[in-house]
Amino acid sequence: MTIFLTGGNGGIGSTIVDVLKKANIEVISPSSIELNLNKEFDVTHYPEIDGFIHCAGANDLKSHDNVVLNELYNIFKINTISFIELCGQLKFKNNSNIIAIGSLYATMTKENRIQYTTSKHALLGAVKTIALEKASNNIKVNMVSPGFVDTPLTRQNNSQERINYLNQNIPLGLTNPLEIANFCLYLIQYNNSITGQNINIDGGYTLKGL
């Protein structure tokens, strides 16, 4: 089994790569130098694959009245447009699984998240549409949306006080990236019926909000 994965160097992406490899799954995960999602690319030379996980993502805090169009386009290109392009260019075997790593901001939002939120909402729309269009080949397409995940980046971008607050107020605390990776492994190996869905893995965050 061979899986194509973007964003393999991030906290979530690297964990997914490790989990897949431990399950004896071959992972093709080009670096950002080998595959620059912000520019035109061609991946049609890669071999036929059993699945694709789009873990690459970009975020930049901006309010709607401070948006710089070039920055907005770049975020959409990486988060959303490249996913659509990759789904069209990669060669999938029948019964493959495609996973877009989404976010809580695919269905909700917060101030100063206009660029990220709109790109993730659009990504969910792409997941649902591509799921319908690939169903004839029994290819399933889903979004897995993490909440607050305990990664080095999360700890870098939040004070210890904020980390403590999240752990105390999210019903199950910060999510371990292994939970994301293990669920992706399940979808890749066993999923035959779930498609066009957005699955939150958020420790119960969306049950109450913070």
Active site residues: 116, 120
Q: How far is CA 47 from the centre of its chain?
A: 22
* Distance (Å, whole) CA 37 – CA 87: 13
User: Is the separation of the CB atoms in 131 and 196 below 8 Å?
Assistant: yes
Radius of gyration of the chain (CA): 17
CB of 56 closer than 8 Å to CB of 15:
no
Backbone angles phi, psi at 139, to 5 degrees: -95, 125
Residue type, 210: L
94 DSSP 8-state letter: E
Q: Report d(CA 163, CA 151) in Å as an integer.
A: 11
For residue 119, give the nearest of 74, 153, 179 by alpha carbon. Answer: 74
H helical segments located in the chain = 11-22, 69-76, 82-89, 114-134, 152-157, 160-169, 177-190, 205-208
